[in-house]
Amino acid sequence: MNNSFIFDTYAILEIIGGNDKYKGYLESNIIINNFIFAELCYKLLRENIKNAEDYIRKYSQFVYEVDQETIKEAMEFRIKNKKRNLSMTDCISYIMSKKLNIKFLTGDKEFESLDNVEYIK
| pLDDT score of 111 | 94
| pLDDT score of 2 | 60
Architecture of domain 4-119: 3-Layer(aba) Sandwich (3.40)
Say how far apart CA 98 and CA 95 lie, in whole Å: 5
pLDDT tens for residues 63-73? Answer: 999 999 999 99
Q: Do residues 23 and 3 touch, judged by C-beta distance below 8 A?
A: no
What is the percent of the chain where pLDDT is above 90?
A: 96
Helix (H) or strand (E) holding 68: helix 68-80
Say how far apart CA 29 and CA 2 lie, in whole Å: 8
1: pLDDT strictly greater than 60: no
Q: Which of 53, 55, 52, 47 is nearest to 30 (CA)?
A: 55
pLDDT tens for residues 34-47? Answer: 999 999 999 999 99
pLDDT tens for residues 81-91? Answer: 999 989 999 99
Rg (CA), the chain: 14
98: pLDDT strictly greater than 80: yes
| pLDDT score of 121 | 87
- Contacts of 56 by beta carbon, 8 Å cutoff, 6+ apart: 40, 41, 44
